[in-house]
């Protein structure tokens, strides 16, 4: 079998199963006994069994061996022969972690990099092996080579297929010269629980045992002759076996859609209604549709200049088709945030145990969809915030009780849709941020004026997001080095999003991450200032109004805008980009104001003129050293001219 062809599929499916294992382990740890515990153990067993089978089929011996030993322990738990306690749960969590590492290493071609020997022995030590007490039910095949006897678990599904996989696995370390029963009978389940074979190999007994067990569902392996069958082997007939078993004969996937381990002659499966696609292909499609959108803008402009009706109709139809194609490609990249959120309960559990705190973790909005590339980028940032809340936000149980709170801290991760954006919140009911402490540290570092007495939410965020800024009295394994919030703030900004903070001392803290649905194509308002055109993402545009004298006031030396009974700060884009003040050509030539917002923060951005709306393709923008920091990217407009994209979050 060409492993590379299926390696990525194996990796993806194994990750999903390991996530399911972690979720079920958490339920098992928190849910007590009864039906819920039985269901959790069953879910873990099924996921581990699937990984074992896939690993064996792929030839990943270490993965299969570890999964097999873990499965054996779980089987004892299912049969009520092994009680679940804290020690057993800890071993199961560790096994899940090591299994994940083994899968990653195997796919990367570094299978030996993960040492599982000690863990495998510990798992075996948890099980009182009774296999091997009964006699072997088949004779030894005569001929040359080492005698190998293999006994399968009583409830092994498709045992003929499993036995054939074992024969193939052993064939990769030597030559199988004979089997008992014959290989044809093995493949059609023509044996009871055990079978035997002869193997010409330079490998030792330990390696033979390991390879045989790696295929899974093996309860006992005996390597070497036994006196009972030694005398009989000279007269027994030889059952020929293939000299070099070919793994593809088992793993080949027929047209009907049957997967590895399918039984020959079984009814074909129903046609698949979905396929797995490499994210890189989706990225390439998005890049291509982005270039097509740019070309569409140019084509539309040229058609308008030429003025040919037939050409304009054709361009209009093409534009509609390109829009539909873009929407379909964008939709194909959208995945529920649960793809990333599902791994966080385990993160929270481990972090809470590390600092001796009790945490109730709640996840909301798991079905909200986000661009896959955006989701992958933001995962580590959420981990930073969760760990920060556990370490700095939530108090120790005794401290919480003394303050009249439940000893169990509440940590909530939620996702909600807000127009063309997704807002992710990490909230805790802890002690909140001590503004006085932050202010004192900021004064000591010379970051704020010595006479300042309070911090606004925006000032608070900008301070704690500074590299190296921390009020922690000691550094822990989780946080305290002043890099967590800084890393999150930088990452969110780089993705075209915004970050906000809300904290009430004694009640808790909420961190908000506002992210665009996709990174590639957005709709923008085009604004002209002098001879330059800038793009303002429509997701941050509330309304546009004319700048007349009656809506402008000056408060404490700063211009403000009176809009719908609100007083908003006024920002002039000309001033921000160092252009001279606006000079109207006539009395009716008025500047325009774009009311922009990010979350609860709003302001008025003054521009010369609005030139329209356009779908723009966001390109990376490398800012000039010491240049403006309020541009979040660049794009090409329909006429081919470049335009900078305003990063609204940096202005508010």
Looking at the fold, whether 352 and 489 belong to one and the same domain comes out as yes
Give the Cα separation of 262 and 6 in Å (integer): 16
**Domain with 184 in it: what CATH number?**
3.30.70.1110
Judge whether residue 262 has pLDDT over 50. no
How many residues can be counted in the chain?
652
**Domain with 525 in it: what CATH number?**
2.40.50.180
Among 208, 233, 248, the domain boundary falls at 248
Looking at the fold, whether 437 and 403 belong to one and the same domain comes out as yes
Looking at the fold, whether 372 and 414 belong to one and the same domain comes out as yes
Domain extent for 10:
3-125
Residue 157 within a domain: yes
Average pLDDT for residues 440-459, to the nearest whole number?
82
Residue 151 within a domain: yes
Judge whether residue 426 has pLDDT over 80. yes
Of residues 96 and 78, the one with the higher pLDDT is 96
Q: Among residues of the chain, what percentage have pLDDT more than 90? A: 18
Look at the block and give the residue holding tokens 């993402």: 537
What's the pTM?
A: 0.64
Among 17-21, 45-49, 81-85, which is the least confidently predicted range? 81-85
Judge whether residue 12 has pLDDT over 90. no
Judge whether residue 160 has pLDDT over 90. no
Average pLDDT for residues 574-600, to the nearest whole number?
83
Beta bridge partner(s), residue 500? 512
Q: What is the pLDDT of residue 133?
A: 46
Task: Kindly state the tokens that stand for 285.
Answer: 């499609």
Instruction: Indicate the burial class of 561 (C-beta count within 10 angstroms; 0-12, 13-18, 19 or more).
Output: buried
CA torsion, ordered 293, 299, 305, 310, to nearest 10 deg: -120
Classify 195 as helix, strand or coil: strand
Average pLDDT for residues 465-493, to the nearest whole number?
68
Would you place residue 425 in the very low, low, confident or very high pLDDT band (cuts 50, 70, 90)? very high
Residue 261 within a domain: no
Of residues 100 and 587, the one with the higher pLDDT is 100
Report phi then psi at 434, rounded to 5.
Answer: -80, 95
Average pLDDT for residues 373-388, to the nearest whole number?
87
Classify 601 as helix, strand or coil: strand
Q: What is the pLDDT of residue 219?
A: 84
Looking at the fold, whether 479 and 527 belong to one and the same domain comes out as no
Average pLDDT for residues 594-620, to the nearest whole number?
85
Q: What is the pLDDT of residue 430?
A: 92
Summarised one tens digit per residue, pLDDT across range 270-286 is 454 667 777 788 888 88
Judge whether residue 400 has pLDDT over 90. yes
Would you place residue 232 in the very low, low, confident or very high pLDDT band (cuts 50, 70, 90)? very low
Q: What is the pLDDT of residue 459?
A: 79
**Domain with 89 in it: what CATH number?**
1.20.120.160
Average pLDDT for residues 564-570, to the nearest whole number?
85
Of residues 484 and 617, the one with the higher pLDDT is 617
Of residues 511 and 156, the one with the higher pLDDT is 511
Number of domains in the chain: 5
Looking at the fold, whether 470 and 400 belong to one and the same domain comes out as yes
Give the Cα separation of 351 and 118 in Å (integer): 25
Q: What is the pLDDT of residue 4?
A: 67
Residue 265 within a domain: no
Report phi then psi at 613, rounded to 5.
Answer: -120, 155
- Where are the alpha helices (H) located in 411-525, listed in sequence order? 435-444, 457-464, 484-494
Q: What is the pLDDT of residue 640?
A: 74
Judge whether residue 88 has pLDDT over 80. yes
Q: What is the pLDDT of residue 185?
A: 80
Classify 146 as helix, strand or coil: strand
Q: What is the pLDDT of residue 234?
A: 42
Of residues 4 and 368, the one with the higher pLDDT is 368
Look at the block and give the residue holding tokens 């390879």: 211
Strand residue runs (E) in 153-275 = 175-180, 194-200, 218-223
Judge whether residue 251 has pLDDT over 90. no
Look at the block and give the residue holding tokens 């919030």: 485
Q: What is the pLDDT of residue 401?
A: 93
Among 267, 302, 335, the domain boundary falls at 335
Q: What is the pLDDT of residue 170?
A: 92
Residue 135 within a domain: no
Q: What is the pLDDT of residue 254?
A: 34
Judge whether residue 606 has pLDDT over 70. yes
Task: Kindly state the tokens that stand for 388.
Answer: 């920060």
Among 226-240, 453-467, 515-529, which is the least confidently predicted range? 226-240
Among 335, 361, 379, the domain boundary falls at 335
Residue 74 within a domain: yes
Judge whether residue 70 has pLDDT over 60. yes
Give the Cα separation of 617 and 627 in Å (integer): 23
Residue 256 within a domain: no
Looking at the fold, whether 242 and 283 belong to one and the same domain comes out as no
Half-sphere exposure of 341 (CA within 13 A, CB side): 21
- What b-and-e string marks burial along 195-225, b requiring 16 or more CB atoms within 10 Å of the CB? bbbbbebebeeeebbbbbbbbbbbbbbbbee
Of residues 652 and 605, the one with the higher pLDDT is 605
Number of neighbours of residue 148 by Cβ within 10 angstroms = 28
Mean pLDDT for all residues in the chain: 80
Judge whether residue 189 has pLDDT over 80. no
Give the Cα separation of 130 and 120 in Å (integer): 17
Give the Cα separation of 476 and 355 in Å (integer): 9
Looking at the fold, whether 632 and 618 belong to one and the same domain comes out as yes
Average pLDDT for residues 196-202, to the nearest whole number?
91
Average pLDDT for residues 317-324, to the nearest whole number?
90
Winning range, highest mean pLDDT, from 357-361, 366-370, 462-466: 357-361
Would you place residue 255 in the very low, low, confident or very high pLDDT band (cuts 50, 70, 90)? very low
Looking at the fold, whether 569 and 645 belong to one and the same domain comes out as yes
Would you place residue 436 in the very low, low, confident or very high pLDDT band (cuts 50, 70, 90)? confident
**Domain with 314 in it: what CATH number?**
1.10.287
Number of neighbours of residue 84 by Cβ within 10 angstroms = 16
Residue 269 within a domain: no
Judge whether residue 129 has pLDDT over 60. no
Looking at the fold, whether 327 and 365 belong to one and the same domain comes out as no
Looking at the fold, whether 441 and 497 belong to one and the same domain comes out as yes
Would you place residue 235 in the very low, low, confident or very high pLDDT band (cuts 50, 70, 90)? very low
Query: DSSP secondary-structure letter at 271?
Result: P
Judge whether residue 415 has pLDDT over 90. yes
Looking at the fold, whether 97 and 151 belong to one and the same domain comes out as no
Task: Kindly state the tokens that stand for 165.
Answer: 């996989």
Judge whether residue 264 has pLDDT over 60. no
Number of neighbours of residue 252 by Cβ within 10 angstroms = 12
Looking at the fold, whether 213 and 233 belong to one and the same domain comes out as yes
Judge whether residue 130 has pLDDT over 50. no
Classify 127 as helix, strand or coil: coil
Average pLDDT for residues 468-490, to the nearest whole number?
65
Average pLDDT for residues 598-623, to the nearest whole number?
81
């Amino acid at each position: 079998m060409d492993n590379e062809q299926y390696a990525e599929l194996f990796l993806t499916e194994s990750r999903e199963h390991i996530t399911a294992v972690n979720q079920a382990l958490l339920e098992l740890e928190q849910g007590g006994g009864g039906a819920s515990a039985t269901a959790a153990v069953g879910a873990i067993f099924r996921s581990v069994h699937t990984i074992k089978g896939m690993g064996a089929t792929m030839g990943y011996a270490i993965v299969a061996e570890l999964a097999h030993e873990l499965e054996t322990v779980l089987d004892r738990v299912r049969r009520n022969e092994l009680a679940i306690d804290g020690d057993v749960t800890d071993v199961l969590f560790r096994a899940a972690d090591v299994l994940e590492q083994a899968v990653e290493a195997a796919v990367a071609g570094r299978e030996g990099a993960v040492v599982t020997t000690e863990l495998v022995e510990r798992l075996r030590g948890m099980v009182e092996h009774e296999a091997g007490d009964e006699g072997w039910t088949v004779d030894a095949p005569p001929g040359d080579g080492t005698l190998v006897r293999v006994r399968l678990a009583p409830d092994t599904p498709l045992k003929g297929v499993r036995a054939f996989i074992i024969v193939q696995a052993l064939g990769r370390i030597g030559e199988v010269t004979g089997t008992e029963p014959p290989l044809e009978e093995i493949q059609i389940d023509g044996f009871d629980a055990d079978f035997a074979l002869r193997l010409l190999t330079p490998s030792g007994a330990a390696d033979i045992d390991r390879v045989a067990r790696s295929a899974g569902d093996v309860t006992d392996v005996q390597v070497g002759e036994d006196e009972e069958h030694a005398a009989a082997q000279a007269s027994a007939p030889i059952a020929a076996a293939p000299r070099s078993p070919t793994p593809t004969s088992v793993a080949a996937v027929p047209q009907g859609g049957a997967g590895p381990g399918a039984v020959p002659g079984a009814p074909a499966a129903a046609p698949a209604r979905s396929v797995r696609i490499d994210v890189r292909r989706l990225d390439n499609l998005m890049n291509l549709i982005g270039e097509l959108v740019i070309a569409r803008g140019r084509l539309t402009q040229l058609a308008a200049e030429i003025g040919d009706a037939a050409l304009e109709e054709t361009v209009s139809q093409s534009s509609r088709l390109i829009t539909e194609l873009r929407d379909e490609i964008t939709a194909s990249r959208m995945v529920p945030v649960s793809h990333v959120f599902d791994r966080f309960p385990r993160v929270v559990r481990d972090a809470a145990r590390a600092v001796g705190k009790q945490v109730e973790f709640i996840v909301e909005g798991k079905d909200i969809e986000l661009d896959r590339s955006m989701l992958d980028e933001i995962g580590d940032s959420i981990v930073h915030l969760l760990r920060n809340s556990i370490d700095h936000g939530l108090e120790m149980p005794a401290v919480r009780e003394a303050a009249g709170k439940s000893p169990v801290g509440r940590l909530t991760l939620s996702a909600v849709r807000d127009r063309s954006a997704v807002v992710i919140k990490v909230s805790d009911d802890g002690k909140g941020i001590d503004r006085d402490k932050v202010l004192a540290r900021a004064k000591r570092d010379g970051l704020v004026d010595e006479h300042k007495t309070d911090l606004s939410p925006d000032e608070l965020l900008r301070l704690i997001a500074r590299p190296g800024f921390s009020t922690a009295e000691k550094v822990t394994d989780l946080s305290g080095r002043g890099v967590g919030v800084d890393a999150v703030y930088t990452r969110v900004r780089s993705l075209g999003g915004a970050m906000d903070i809300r904290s009430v001392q004694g009640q808790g803290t909420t961190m908000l991450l506002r992210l665009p649905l996709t990174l590639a194509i957005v709709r923008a308002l085009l604004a002209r200032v002098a001879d330059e055109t800038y793009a303002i993402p429509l997701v941050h545009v509330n309304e546009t109004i004319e700048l007349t004298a009656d809506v402008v006031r000056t408060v404490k030396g700063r211009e403000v805008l009176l809009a719908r009974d609100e007083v908003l700060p006024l920002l002039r884009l000309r001033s921000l980009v160092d252009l001279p003040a606006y000079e109207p050509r006539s009395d009716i030539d008025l500047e325009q104001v774009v009311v922009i917002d990010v979350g609860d923060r709003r302001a008025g951005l003054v521009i010369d003129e609005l030139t329209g709306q356009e779908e723009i393709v966001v390109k990376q923008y490398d800012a000039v050293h010491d240049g403006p920091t309020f541009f979040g990217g660049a794009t090409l407009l329909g006429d081919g001219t470049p335009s900078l994209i305003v990063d609204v979050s940096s202005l508010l």
